[in-house]
Amino acid sequence: MMKKYLFPAILGIVGCAILINLGMWQLRRLAWKEAMLAEISAQINDTPVELPTVPEDPASLKYLPVVTPGATTGEEILMLTGRQGQGAGYEVISAFETGDGRRILVDRGFLREVDRYAERPAVPLVVRGNLHWPEEADSYTPEPDLAAGVWYARDVERMAAHLKTEPILIVASAVEGDLQSVDPNPITITGIKNDHKGYAITWFLLATVWAGMTLLFTWRIRRQGISRRD
C-alpha cells in the first residue's frame, strides 16, 4: 500500500524543494539588487566634481556627478520620447563646449512637441549632472532619421560622431542659464528594473500549488484504494 504513495511523495518533495530553492535564490538576488541600487543612488547624489578625463573603459565613471561651465554650440540631436502627463516630446542632446575647450554631449532634458521648432541658439550654461553611457539601442531600434534630426535611442558613440564631440554624455540634473523650454530629466534609480521580489513570490506560490496538487493526488489514490476494498 505504501508503494502507491512513494512516487507522488517523492515527486511532491523534489518539486517543492526545487521551487522553494528558486524562490530563495530570487530573494538573495533581491538583496544584492537593493544593495546595488543603494550604491548607485548614493553615487548619483554625491558631491559633483569637475569633468574628468575619461578612460578607454568608462564603466568606472558611470553615474559620476559632475559640474562644468561652458556653452552649447547650437548643434543638437532630438531623441523621440515621452513624459507622463505631458505626452510625446524629445530628449535634447546638445553639443557642449566646456570652459577648457572640450566638446562633449549634454542631455539637457525633455522638450515638448509644441516647442520643437522654437529657436535654441548657442547659450552659456553651467551644467550639473551625471556621466552616463546608456545601453538603449538594440537590433530593434530604428535608424535615426538624420533628415528630420530625430533619433530613437541614446547611442553615445554614434551621437558623438555625428556632432563631432568626445563620446561623453552628461545627463543634466540642473542647468543654470537655460531658458529654452528644456526641462532637465535627471538620472534616478527608478528606471533600473528590480523584479526579483515578484519572481520570488511567483516561485513560492508555485511551490504552494505543487504541494497542494501532491496532496490532492495522494488523497485520490487513497480514495481509490478505499473504493476497491468496498
CATH number corresponding to 45-188: 2.40.50
The radius of gyration of the chain from alpha carbons, rounded to an integer in Å, stands at 27
Query: How is residue 89 written as a grid cell?
Result: 516630446
Q: Domain spans of the chain?
A: 15-39+195-229, 45-188
HEC string of 132-197 equals CCCCCCCCCCCCCECCCCEECCCCHHHHHHHHCCCCCEEEEEEEECCCCCCECCCCCHHHCCCCHH
- Per-residue pLDDT for 221 more than 90? no
- Dump pLDDT digits (tens) for 46-64: 999 999 887 777 878 899 9
C-alpha neighbours within 13 Å on the C-beta side of residue 154: 22
Predicted model pTM: 0.78
Q: What is the pairing mode between strands 169-176 and 124-131? A: antiparallel
Rounded to whole angstroms, how far apart are CA atoms 53 and 76? 23
Taking residues 91-106, report their average pLDDT.
94
What pLDDT sits at residue 94? 95
Q: Scan for cell 566638446, then name that residue.
A: 103
- Per-residue pLDDT for 227 more than 60? no
Residues 175, 125 contacting (CB under 8 angstroms)? yes
| DSSP-derived 3-state class of residue 123 | coil
What pLDDT sits at residue 230? 53
- Dump pLDDT digits (tens) for 108-155: 999 999 888 888 889 999 999 999 998 888 888 999 998 888 999 999
The b-or-e profile of 179-204 (16+ CB within 10 A means b, else e) is ebebbbbebeeeeeeeebeebbeebb
Query: How is residue 228 written as a grid cell?
Result: 476497491
> What does each C-alpha distance from 81 to 9, 17, 137 come to in angstroms?
54, 45, 14
Mean pLDDT score across all residues of the chain: 88
- Per-residue pLDDT for 100 more than 60? yes
What pLDDT sits at residue 202? 95
- The least confident of 88-92, 168-172, 224-228 is 224-228
Nearest CA to 203 out of 69, 62, 15, 66 is that of 15
Rounded to whole angstroms, how far apart are CA atoms 66 and 186? 12
- Dump pLDDT digits (tens) for 190-219: 877 889 999 999 999 999 999 988 888 787
Q: Scan for cell 505631458, then name that residue.
A: 86
- Dump pLDDT digits (tens) for 5-36: 677 778 888 999 999 999 999 999 999 999 98
- Per-residue pLDDT for 224 more than 80? no
Q: Scan for cell 527608478, then name that residue.
A: 190
- Dump pLDDT digits (tens) for 139-152: 889 999 988 889 99
Q: State residue 209 phi and psi, 5-degree precision.
A: -65, -40
Identity at 200, one-letter amino acid code: A
Q: Scan for cell 528644456, then name that residue.
A: 182
